[in-house]
Structure 1
């Protein structure tokens, strides 16, 4: 209580004092650009993924635009240690994502390499995934996918280097006949989710759908 008085939680955009469980104030919330994608309909993610691998359904919560509040929110989660942002994004997702009772069998998030996980202290996707799992009652497995190589942040790589990276991920256990919802933070080229999707598809008679916090296409 004393700490809340001395160091109150503030809106990450305008610096107004807000409740401890909020990220932005009501005024700034209206500046967030939600995609309003339908999970089952065509959208820019599905169009791009379809060129890379057989994809079932796709969804993104917000648009990852330059100099936008949406970009600031993702950076709070990934680079400023605010893991609780993942839970808040999950709460927003539940108001926009309708599975229409056609739920995937399992949620799996894009993993960090153990070295990167140690550096950051947490995987920015775990609390997001766990919160969605609890709401939709879909099981999750943080260990299903393994990242095989330690590398620089995806944003720091040029496109050619990303394409040249071979077998960056692997499936850690037998899995077949399942519909996997693969979760990532930002969708850009689609190369990361494509690499993982092919590992899942090649593991057995599986299906893959994609859910991301933000889309930059």
Structure 2
């Protein structure tokens, strides 16, 4: 294929963020959007990734530590990531999965030296059918391509519950126990759970608890975004 044809084809590929021609770039979006997504890093709780004003664990992780050992996120759930995540999840813009995964790998790869597997949050088959894909699984697949770290469907969603937003904290915990189960006992020491957004952390904590009970020694969480303040909805 000649250089002219390559240039013409490149001009037809659109940036998934601004929908302008992608141009010559090694990134999954155009150079301008890539720069716009490079946000200053904030001081965060090393366990749950909530923003804090000091170095160390937040009060909630000190009083009620989650089962996962650490968390990393690209950003708070705020502009521009919040708008992009909504497009990714609810407008079926799957091309954003590559962009998010590329950002995650570039920022978190230094912490991956002994990670043995990426694991995605399972989705009930009917919800996946309606949405068209599992966004957590899509992130895992690209992260595996960038890192050569394998990914697997360790969990299955066994029970379709009401939306977590309709449940109080106690009801949510009961619903999550019914919703997820391990397919098999993993013979691994260090696993990273991949998800798009953490709010309360209830879903990721439920999965981490099962992994720890199965013998996994270290469980991490990699995210696109973390809500600025925990609330009663979400994962």
**Category of TM-score, reference length = shorter chain:** 0.7 to 0.9
| Equivalent residue number for residue 157 of structure 1 | 166
2:67 aligns to what? 54
Larger radius of gyration: 2
Aligned to 2:41: 36
Residues 151, 42 of structure 1: alpha-carbon distance in 2 compared, 3 angstrom cutoff: closer
Unaligned runs of 5+ in 1: none
Instruction: Find the counterpart in structure 2 of residue 71 from structure 1.
Output: 82
CA RMSD of aligned residues (A): 3.4
Alpha-carbon distance in 2 for matches of 1:37, 1:104: 24
Q: Against the structure 1 CA distance between its residues 99 and 33, is the aligned structure 2 distance closer, same or farther, given a 3 Å change threshold?
A: closer
SS of 2:161 mapped into structure 1 = coil
* TM-score for both structures, normalised by structure 2: 0.73
Distance (Å, rounded) in 2 between the aligned partners of 1:192 and 1:184: 10
Distance in 2 of aligned mates of 1:138 and 1:49? 29
Could you tell me which residue of structure 2 aligns to residue 113 of structure 1?
124
2:68·2:220 contact (CA, 8 Å) conserved in 1? yes
- Work out which of the residue numbers 184, 189, 195 in structure 1 matches 2:206: 195
Secondary structure (helix, strand or coil) at the match of 1:129 reads: helix
Shift of 1:23: 7.5
What is the aligned length? 210
Give the ranges of 4+ consecutive aligned residues of structure 1 lying more than 4 Å apart after TM superposition: 20-31, 37-43, 45-50
**Residue 137 (structure 1) aligned to one of 131, 148, 152:** 148
The superposition leaves residues 126-151 of structure 1 with CA deviations (integer Å, 9 ceiling, x where unpaired) of: 2211111122221110x211122223
Q: Name the TM-score, length of structure 1 as normaliser.
A: 0.78
| 2:115 maps to 1:104 | yes
- Larger mean Cα displacement after TM superposition, 126-135 or 22-31: 22-31
State the match for 1:18 in structure 2: 21
More helix by share: 2
Structure 2: where are the runs of 5+ without partners?
A: 51-56, 229-235
